[in-house]
A and B are shown apart, each in its own frame.
Chain A
Amino acid sequence: MAKALQWIKMGRKLLLEKAHVEGIRYYDVYRREGGYRSVEKALKTMTQEEIVEEVKKSGLRGRGGAGFPAGMKWSFIAKPEGVPRHLVCNADESEPGTFKDRYLMEFIPHLLIEGLIVASYALGSNATYIYIRGEYAWIPDILEQTIAEAKANGFLGKNILGTGFDCEIYVQRGAGAYICGEETALIESLEGKRGNPRIKPPFPAIKGAWGRPTVVNNVETLAAVVPIINEGGEEYAKIGVGKSTGTKLISACGNINKPGVYEIDMTISVEEFIYSDEYCGGIPNGKRLKACIPGGSSVPILPANLLLKTAKGETRYMNYESLSDGGFATGSMMGSGGFIVLDEDQCVVRNTYSLARFYRHESCGQCSPCREGTGWMEKVLLRLEKGEGKLSDIDLLWDIQSKIEGNTICPLGDAASWPVAAAIRHFRDEFEWHVTHAAEAQTRNYGLAHYADPIHVPA
């Protein structure tokens, strides 16, 4: 068993395996390395339903953050007679800590286009859109060149591979709005409007872009369709553990020696991910681990002791179930895979303030709890950070976040609440110290304190 795991650990990369082959960005090399086999297999030998079935069997969960089963999402798409359907690829990647989709699109763009063609066929989309965040301004050029190459080789356009299936892929740039990563805001933006999320239902699968049935999937999710079709859903599901099947891209950043994008198979421990040379390579300058936000800025921050082990004292692993073990009381989430590490010199109050400022900036303003609450939290956190806060501010923050969560049209409200709630839950004494030692807090940080101490596990 240990040996088998070792082999998996060393061997299995499904998305980035070929990302560093010279010239892989271009069609000829990509094709020579086995590219576009899944399109041939899917379009020539499989029905739409069979493809959806394979994706269901694979257990693939949405890689954008929510983790919703992709095959199930596909199966919800409505098929009213005579109404066109659309696939939209969410490349808005804006969750702080997350930069994996950018990597995939820059280094191995044909993998995304290949996945998009298969998914477009499965969903019956003849016009598919990639909505990419506006700041990634150089990537549309790469994607458009990739699309042109695929088209020149008969994998896009009219009557693909002689199967009668037509498909065009268009790239649309956003213009700087985190909220457009939320699928209904993305659709609004695609329609040329402000990115205000829509009330659901109706879900996009029934009424999406231009009122037509639409599926929105993350870049990594759509790229994963390629190995699923090539190897079969069951084979894909054998990789990983439990409901965390396949591989996951993790973008690691913060205070680590080797920031970057890593493809993991979700069987490694958090400790190994941080300290092994194969991944983050430990923390620079011999500093110690204080805290970590393991799945993008919206997910709960954990102190070192709860990050490496669960409250039950078990090893915590880099997968959906293990990262959320203990719920919000003692766990966190896999989220988008944006892994942010904080060393002992970092201030949790300052970090929380920085994130609160982000959410205030990005709130679309539609729902008052979020519009007003995010600004209020930012203000209170800033005064705590500057040593001008009161002890009652901590309870005030708790109160505000609890009144935003669950009371907004879209999950941005939750995303803004959770980081504040988790910071207070686990680092309350650091917040209090900013009040009781206000002058000192301006000259030094609270440090590691007890946040890495072993947790007492009741027998």
Chain B
Amino acid sequence: MVQFSEEKLTKVKEIIARYPEGKQKSALLPLLHLAQDNFGGWLSAETMNYVASLLQIEPIEVYEVATFYSMYNTKPVGKYVFEVCQTGPCMLNGSDQIIDYISATLGIKPGETTADGLFTLKTAECLGACGYAPMMQLGKHYREHLTKDKVDTIIAECRAAAAANN
């Protein structure tokens, strides 16, 4: 069952208190981030319904928001999600080649997840790191000035971290 811990529920209350009385729906984006981080990296219908109940809003109000913003995953994703920027300035600095390289190395196309569930490759539109191109988002952080070697290192890092956690 989808349920936040007591500690997380305190955090939820704290977030709701940032907004005017009765405007708790404003907490929807932060709560969806919290939920996605907590419940497997994506938002299932069950998770979204739970968030709706926390905010006392209709589930549809959650669905329409979750489907609007690109950072919310409405389908399961791999443990490590590579979101490679492909917009103008990154493209000028070789992002297409980086995407092709990751694709070939992992054997997946953008939008796909490896069979072992470790990696998902996504293309992203401008992430605001144009001076440090090519780059990608990996979890909370950016990996910048990507080269093929760097991509190899990052993939190895992820595999090692996954092995250590199992």
Residues on A lying within 8 angstroms of B by beta carbon are: 84, 93-99, 102, 127, 129, 133-138, 168, 170, 172-178, 189-195, 210, 251-255, 259-261, 293, 297, 338, 340, 342, 346, 350-351, 354-355, 357-358, 361-362, 364
Contact present for B140 and A138 (CB under 8 Å) = yes
Give the distance in Å from the alpha carbon of A338 to the alpha carbon of B133 in the complex: 14
Task: Please give the distance in Å from A141's CB to the nearest CB on chain B.
Answer: 9
Using Cβ atoms and an 8 Å threshold, which residues of chain B touch A129? 18
Using Cβ atoms and an 8 Å threshold, which residues of chain A touch B153? none
Given known A174-B29, A191-B25, A340-B92, contact A361–B125 (CB-CB < 8 A): yes
Given known A94-B128, A195-B68, A261-B131, contact A173–B29 (CB-CB < 8 A): yes
Contact present for B89 and A253 (CB under 8 Å) = yes
Using Cβ atoms and an 8 Å threshold, which residues of chain A touch B87? 96, 297, 354-355, 357-358
Task: Please give the distance in Å from B83's CB to the nearest CB on chain A.
Answer: 8
Using Cβ atoms and an 8 Å threshold, which residues of chain A touch B30? 172-173
Contact present for B88 and A97 (CB under 8 Å) = yes
Q: Which of B5-13, B69-77, B99-107, B155-163 contacts A (4 or more CB under 8 A)?
A: B69-77
Contact present for B29 and A254 (CB under 8 Å) = no
Contact present for A253 and B70 (CB under 8 Å) = no
Task: Please give the distance in Å from A436's CB to the nearest CB on chain B.
Answer: 24
Using Cβ atoms and an 8 Å threshold, which residues of chain A touch B108? none
B79 interface residue per 8 A CB criterion: no
12 additional contacts (CB under 8 A) given A172-B30, A192-B61 = A96-B126, A97-B89, A134-B69, A172-B18, A173-B29, A175-B29, A175-B32, A176-B72, A193-B65, A251-B130, A254-B130, A364-B68
Task: Please give the distance in Å from B104's CB to the nearest CB on chain A.
Answer: 21
Given known A97-B130, A340-B89, A355-B87, contact A194–B71 (CB-CB < 8 A): no
Instruction: Tell me the chain B residues, 77-127 only, with Cβ under 8 Å from chain A.
Output: 86-89, 91-93, 124-127
B39 interface residue per 8 A CB criterion: no
Contact present for A133 and B29 (CB under 8 Å) = no
Chain B, Cβ-Cβ closest to A141: B140
Given known A170-B18, A194-B65, A358-B125, contact A176–B71 (CB-CB < 8 A): yes
Task: Please give the distance in Å from A156's CB to the nearest CB on chain B.
Answer: 14
Identify which of B27, B64, B65, B124 gathers the most chain A CB atoms within 10 Å of its CB: B65
Give the distance in Å from the alpha carbon of A401 to the alpha carbon of B61 in the complex: 33
B3 interface residue per 8 A CB criterion: no
Contact present for B130 and A259 (CB under 8 Å) = yes
Partner among B33, B91, B133, B140 whose Cβ is within 8 Å of the Cβ of A175: B33
* 9 pairs of A and B residues whose beta carbons are closest in the complex: A175-B69, A192-B28, A176-B70, A259-B131, A176-B71, A253-B130, A192-B25, A194-B68, A96-B126
Q: How many A-B residue pairs have CB under 8 A?
A: 148
Contact present for B130 and A99 (CB under 8 Å) = yes
Using Cβ atoms and an 8 Å threshold, which residues of chain B touch A96? 87-89, 125-126, 130
Using Cβ atoms and an 8 Å threshold, which residues of chain B touch A358? 87-88, 125-126
Q: List 30 A-B contacts (CB under 8 A).
A: A94-B126, A96-B88, A97-B89, A97-B130, A98-B128, A98-B130, A99-B128, A99-B130, A127-B20, A134-B29, A135-B71, A168-B18, A174-B29, A175-B70, A176-B69, A176-B71, A190-B26, A193-B25, A194-B68, A195-B68, A195-B69, A210-B19, A210-B26, A252-B131, A254-B92, A255-B93, A293-B88, A297-B87, A354-B91, A361-B125
Contact present for B141 and A137 (CB under 8 Å) = yes
Using Cβ atoms and an 8 Å threshold, which residues of chain A touch B68? 177, 194-195, 364
Contact present for A102 and B71 (CB under 8 Å) = no
Give the distance in Å from the alpha carbon of A259 to the alpha carbon of B18 in the complex: 38
Give the distance in Å from the alpha carbon of A135 to the alpha carbon of B141 in the complex: 8
Chain B, Cβ-Cβ closest to A258: B131
Task: Please give the distance in Å from A373's CB to the nearest CB on chain B.
Answer: 17
Task: Please give the distance in Å from B72's CB to the nearest CB on chain A.
Answer: 6
Contact present for A254 and B128 (CB under 8 Å) = no
Using Cβ atoms and an 8 Å threshold, which residues of chain A touch B131? 99, 251-253, 259-261
Using Cβ atoms and an 8 Å threshold, which residues of chain A touch B129? 99, 102
Partner among B18, B92, B141 whose Cβ is within 8 Å of the Cβ of A346: B92
Give the distance in Å from the alpha carbon of A192 to the alpha carbon of B72 in the complex: 14
Task: Please give the distance in Å from A85's CB to the nearest CB on chain B.
Answer: 12
Using Cβ atoms and an 8 Å threshold, which residues of chain B touch A84? 20
Using Cβ atoms and an 8 Å threshold, which residues of chain A touch B141? 137-138
Contact present for B126 and A259 (CB under 8 Å) = no
Using Cβ atoms and an 8 Å threshold, which residues of chain B touch A254? 89, 92-93, 130
Using Cβ atoms and an 8 Å threshold, which residues of chain A touch B148? none
Using Cβ atoms and an 8 Å threshold, which residues of chain A touch B70? 175-177, 361
Contact present for A178 and B125 (CB under 8 Å) = yes
Identify which of B23, B29, B86, B131 gathers the most chain A CB atoms within 10 Å of its CB: B131
Chain A, Cβ-Cβ closest to B55: A192
Partner among A93, A189, A350 whose Cβ is within 8 Å of the Cβ of B91: A350
B38 interface residue per 8 A CB criterion: no
Task: Please give the distance in Å from B58's CB to the nearest CB on chain A.
Answer: 12
Partner among A99, A189, A261, A351 whose Cβ is within 8 Å of the Cβ of B29: A189
B137 interface residue per 8 A CB criterion: yes
Task: Please give the distance in Å from B52's CB to the nearest CB on chain A.
Answer: 11
Using Cβ atoms and an 8 Å threshold, which residues of chain B touch A177? 68-70
Give the distance in Å from the alpha carbon of A174 to the alpha carbon of B127 in the complex: 13
